[in-house]
Amino acid sequence: MNSTPQTDLTWILDDLVEVPDVVYALVLSTDGLIVQKSTSLAQDAGELLAAGASSLYSVAAGMGRRFDSGPVQQVIIEYRGRTLFVAAAGQNARLAVLCEQSVDMGTVAYEMSRLVTRIGEYLGSEARPPVLPLSESVGLRP
């Protein structure tokens, strides 16, 4: 993890939420944990958003690999009342932005790109080490 305190990102995410019709912004690790969130996003809702956004991005990446489509640029899910954007944000990090349905999608995509460029050095987070099977972690042999 970076030595930069996570609170350094809050003001930048809060600025993104000031864009018309943007509701929440969240930086998450690739394994679905909150790195930082906008002030208005409750912790429990943030945890759910981080886990869901990570899953969506992973599914999209798998489909891209399976069909030789290249790396994911952005995942967009349109619900009846809101739109969710998920994009890469540095090494091992993602940016999720939940918006009202009436949002200008081009503006959000531009602002997300600008945010990632501005703070890319803060958004990388180390991947967690792989978990060993129980038999290996306690020295048992199969």
pLDDT at 1: 39
Give per-residue pLDDT as tens, 5-44: 444 789 999 999 999 999 999 999 999 999 999 999 999 9
Q: What is the mean pLDDT of residues 102-131?
A: 76
- The number of domains in the chain is 1
What gap in Å lies between CA 96 and CA 23, rounded to an integer?
11
- The size of the chain, in residues, is 142
What gap in Å lies between CA 13 and CA 9, rounded to an integer?
6
Could you tell me how many helices (H) and strands (E) the chain has, helices first? 4, 5
Q: Is residue 79 part of a domain?
A: yes
Is residue 74 helix, strand or coil? strand
Categorize the per-residue pLDDT at 55 as very low, low, confident or very high, splitting at 50, 70 and 90. Answer: very high
Q: Is residue 88 part of a domain?
A: yes
Nearest to 86 by CA among 24, 1, 2, 18: 24
pLDDT at 66: 96
Q: Is residue 48 part of a domain?
A: yes
68: Cβ contacts below 8 Å, ≥ 6 apart: none
Categorize the per-residue pLDDT at 97 as very low, low, confident or very high, splitting at 50, 70 and 90. Answer: very high
- Average pLDDT of the chain, as a whole number: 85
CATH code of the domain covering residue 33: 3.30.450.30
Q: Is residue 142 part of a domain?
A: no
Rounded alpha-carbon distances, angstroms, from residue 98 to 26, 60, 91, 130: 9, 18, 21, 30
pLDDT at 91: 82
Give per-residue pLDDT as tens, 57-83: 999 999 999 999 999 999 999 999 999
Categorize the per-residue pLDDT at 4 as very low, low, confident or very high, splitting at 50, 70 and 90. Answer: very low
- Domain range for 25: 6-137
**Does the model's pTM come out above 0.75?**
yes
Question: What percent of the chain stands above pLDDT 70?
Answer: 78
Q: Is residue 75 part of a domain?
A: yes
C-alpha triplet 15, 21, 22: angle, nearest 5°: 45
Q: What is the mean pLDDT of residues 76-103?
A: 95
Q: Is residue 107 part of a domain?
A: yes
pLDDT at 7: 46
Q: Residue by residue, what is the 3-state secondary structure of 80-139?
A: CCEEEEEEECCCCEEEEEEEECCCCHHHHHHHHHHHHHHHHHHHCCCCCCCCCCHHHHCC
